[in-house]
Amino acid sequence: MRLWHAILHALAEAGTMTWQITWSLVLGFTLSAVVESLVKKSSIVRLLPDDGPRSLATATGLGAASSSCSYAAVALARSLFRKGAGFGAAMAFQIASTNLVVELGLIMALLLGWQFMLAEFIGAPIMIVLVAVLLRRFLNRRRRDEARAQADLALAGSMEGHAAMDMSVASTAPLWRRITSPDGFTAISHNFVMEVMAIIRDLATGLLIAGAAAAWIPDPFWQHLFFTDNHLAAQIWGPIIGPIVAILTFVCSIGNVPLAAVLWNGGISFGGVSAFIFADLLIVPILFIYRKYYGTRTALTLFWVFYVAMVVAGYVVELLFSATTLVPGGPRHARTGTHGIVWNYTTFLNIIAIALVLVLVWRFLRSGGREMLAMMGGGPDDMTHHDHAHHDHVHHDHAHRAHSMHDHPMQDHPMHDDAAHGQPDVTSGPSER
């Protein structure tokens, strides 16, 4: 019976945290879907020809606009590298697309506070610069050529199908008309649902782990782990231990944030929280994917380069925010499910968010969404075949409809035609061949 109550307590904590962040997740994914509906992936490679400052800045901006789950971000970075992008620029894109995105910032602000969101958006560019500098110093031309040769083997990792999909609207119409057009509505719905499906596993895992940690792990354990009785030791130790905790929990991307709230309440330093969040690209499954993508030596280089960069970025954030007195003081009350579900602004926003989700899912299902879901886990070189088959099907469908309407001009097909017309383009993004 006690075990059952403990399980229910953990589930209640996880459920309450889920309720607290639902509207911010929906808002973040919607904004990201709108941006991705306007930015064509095939145009990214030519903007990242090397690892110079301009390419790195461009990669950071485009990555922030191309929200992805960690697995899809890693897959897309390899795709960019195979097509000729600089290795450092590809890594910058990868980091930005998971650590500089709207939905991550919103959830951090909601669960932890606006200071943590600001720290993330300051620390991530610092980490990108450090990664680029270290890779330029320790990954010579021969090693990069070896990594490219390994990447060209196109070994399957995870989420390559999702990373290769390009669901942007091909149009020269003004921005607002593209967004509100039938094609734009469909593209937004497809980007929204695919991003949610890509992240749902990590998010659910993170919430369950955070709920279990909040319910089962006593505060003294965290206090001893993070040296909370010695402020200086806690500041030094936090950015070092934060990424290690992230690596061992196997949770990445947005799923890290609820657990970060638990760690903050447990006593980890401010910089330690930032370093913990940055480590979404170092969890064990992704380390094995790096090995498949770039070879063992490059994977090991990526491991220590990323780790050093996130630790240093954590220290910079700690020092900068401490010097400006922006580190939250007093008792720590990050939202970890202990507030319960009450009738307040969160409830109203969640009702609106759920209604929006239903509309987007409806559009997604009415415009070829099931076929898109089947392609999410495809290999890196599978998308061209699927793309041709998909376009042949759409072309045949349009021809059939045109013929039917010619034979039966009075027959009404408004909704069905609109859904077909709104089918977004599915390409291989930066072509893998």
Which two structure tokens, joined as six digits, stand for 82? 């195979």
Among residues 77, 95, 230, 217, the alpha carbon closest in space to that of 160 is found at: 77
Which two structure tokens, joined as six digits, stand for 206? 């993170």
At 425, give phi and psi (nearest 5°). Answer: -75, 130
Residues 6+ apart with CB under 8 A from 27: 102, 103, 106, 353
What is the C-alpha separation between 313 and 124, in angstroms, rounded? 7
Confirm whether 91 is domain-assigned. yes
| Number of structural domains in the chain | 1
Q: Give every residue of the chain whose pLDDT is below 70, as ranges.
A: 1, 39-43, 67-68, 156-173, 175, 250, 336-342, 375-433
Confirm whether 14 is domain-assigned. yes
DSSP 250: T
Q: What is the helix, strand, coil percentage profile of the chain, to 5? A: 75, 0, 25
Confirm whether 387 is domain-assigned. yes
Rounded to the nearest 10 degrees, the angle between the axes of helix 182-216 and helix 414-421 is 70
**What pLDDT is recorded for position 326?**
92
Confirm whether 428 is domain-assigned. no
**What pLDDT is recorded for position 41?**
63
**What pLDDT is recorded for position 391?**
39
Q: Distances in Å between the alpha carbon of 34 and those of 31, 196, 334? A: 5, 14, 30
Q: Distances in Å between the alpha carbon of 374 and those of 165, 169, 368, 369, 383? A: 12, 21, 11, 9, 11
Confirm whether 104 is domain-assigned. yes
Confirm whether 227 is domain-assigned. yes
Confirm whether 68 is domain-assigned. yes
For the stretch 318-349, pLDDT in tens is: 999 999 999 998 778 777 655 556 677 778 88
Domain containing residue 39: 2-421
pTM here is: 0.74
**What pLDDT is recorded for position 60?**
92
Confirm whether 59 is domain-assigned. yes
**What pLDDT is recorded for position 385?**
43
What is the C-alpha separation between 403 and 59, in angstroms, rounded? 46
Burial class (CB in 10 A: 0-12, 13-18, 19+), 408: exposed
Residues 6+ apart with CB under 8 A from 174: none
